[in-house]
Chains A and B, each alone.
Chain A
Amino acid sequence: MTIPFTHILFLAILLFAMGAACAMTRKNLFMILIGVEVMLNAAGIAFVAAAMRWQDMNGQIMALFVMTVAAAEIAVALALIVCIQRRTRYTNVDHCSMLKG
């Protein structure tokens, strides 16, 4: 049996909202990063679902792109976190406030 398209979309929305909430509320840099990853994967799920719904391979290709971007992003982000940790001795995002107005 096939899962209805709307169900998958609801799953994606749910995941995206949870990721966004995580990115917005958490102070720990790692947790923010995880939130961003969740949001990206929610988008990937939506793409795959759309590909199945319309029988179009472009959606799957986009999902592959999203995964690639996520990998690249996590590599840069982890390097940045290491950098920040070395400078401020914390991985808490509230300590990164040098550009405060």
Chain B
Amino acid sequence: MAGKIRAFGAFAYDFVVGDDWRVAVGVVAALAATYWLSHAVKAASWWVVPAVLAVLIPLTLWRAVRKG
């Protein structure tokens, strides 16, 4: 049973997170920052996710290319 749960966890992780967990962490951090800016600071926050993606995508590609 524990083995099956582990296998399902591994499948779910691969299905959602995939090859680079940093991307998932970056997305969650970007959405958290958007939430904070919108609700606590009450400032314009639409730019946060695009700005994070502009850094995150080249970074994950650079890691993938470096790994070969």
Partners in one complex: no
